[in-house]
């Protein structure tokens, strides 16, 4: 059943006041989601609770930073935002991580974060990862156009434009730049920074 798009609703204060906001960005196929998940796993293994907020829901960050719990709409399709499939209650957390290509681009959000992480990945590696995903999509019937189409799109289409417009210019705002050409557990590098920010 579809429900009308509900506004975000602040529900009640939680014990998590003044959470630490971490921003993670990088180009397409730079490993943002993988790194973010690894970071949360590492934190939780060390008794530090963390909430991942996709940049699509960035507008909720103010309430969460105020230690509020909020309702967020869940959409069937991220592009179709007229109707929400359901709503879910999201609790604040001592650590809030916003991950996405545009997470550094919003000045207001950027200035609220004392720890901004930029994943630096070579164009060659990003293309290899993107093509691996595309080939899997072809096998599953999600895509129909040949691999050559995706290669041309990577170099001449939206991915290239986004990289030059939204990603490369904001590296200068990063508090920490991590080379992430190889998927390995580099989250340990970040933990010391987080501990300092939580003091």
Give the mean pLDDT per block of 10 residues along the chain (199 residues): 40 60 93 90 87 83 86 62 65 91 92 93 88 86 84 82 90 92 73 72
The C-alpha atoms of residue 37 and residue 99 are separated, in whole angstroms, by: 10
pLDDT of residue 83: 55
pTM: 0.79
Determine if residue 31 is left, alpha or beta; phi over 0 gives left, psi from -120 to 50 gives alpha, anything else beta.
Answer: left
Q: Does some domain include residue 104?
A: yes
The C-alpha atoms of residue 6 and residue 4 are separated, in whole angstroms, by: 6
Q: Does some domain include residue 188?
A: no
pLDDT of residue 18: 80
How many structural domains are present in the chain? 1
- Domain region containing 104: 3-181
pLDDT of residue 2: 39
- Which distant-in-sequence residues (6+ apart) come within 8 Å of 197 by Cβ? 20, 114, 115
pLDDT of residue 199: 66
Q: Does some domain include residue 190?
A: no
Q: Does some domain include residue 163?
A: yes
pLDDT of residue 91: 86
pLDDT of residue 75: 64
Residue 154 burial by Cβ neighbours in a 10 Å radius (0-12, 13-18, 19+):
buried
The C-alpha atoms of residue 58 and residue 77 are separated, in whole angstroms, by: 17
64 and 92 Cβ atoms separated by less than 8 Å: yes
pLDDT of residue 7: 41
The C-alpha atoms of residue 166 and residue 144 are separated, in whole angstroms, by: 28
Residue 148 belongs to domain with CATH number = 3.40.50.300
Q: Does some domain include residue 195?
A: no
Q: Does some domain include residue 22?
A: yes
Q: Does some domain include residue 192?
A: no
Q: Does some domain include residue 196?
A: no
Q: Is residue 77 classed as helix, strand or coil in its secondary structure?
A: strand
């Amino acid at each position: 059943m579809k429900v009308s798009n509900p506004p975000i609703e602040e529900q009640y204060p939680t014990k998590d006041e003044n959470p630490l906001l971490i921003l993670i960005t990088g180009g397409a196929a730079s490993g943002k989601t993988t790194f973010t998940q690894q970071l949360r796993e590492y934190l939780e293994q060390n008794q530090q609770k963390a909430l991942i907020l996709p940049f699509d829901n960035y507008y909720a960050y103010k309430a969460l930073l105020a230690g509020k719990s909020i309702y967020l709409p869940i959409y069937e399709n991220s592009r179709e935002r007229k109707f929400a499939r359901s709503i879910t209650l999201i609790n604040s957390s001592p650590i809030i991580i916003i991950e996405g290509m545009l997470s550094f681009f919003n000045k207001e959000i950027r200035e609220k974060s004392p720890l901004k992480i930029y994943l630096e990945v070579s164009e060659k590696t990003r293309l290899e990862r993107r093509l691996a995903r595309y080939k899997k999509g072809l096998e599953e019937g999600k895509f129909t156009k040949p691999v050559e189409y995706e290669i041309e799109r990577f170099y001449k289409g939206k991915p290239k434009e986004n990289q030059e417009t939204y990603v490369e210019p904001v590296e200068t705002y990063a508090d920490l730049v991590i080379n992430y050409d190889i998927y390995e557990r580099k989250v340990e590098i970040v933990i010391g920074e987080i501990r300092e920010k939580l003091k």
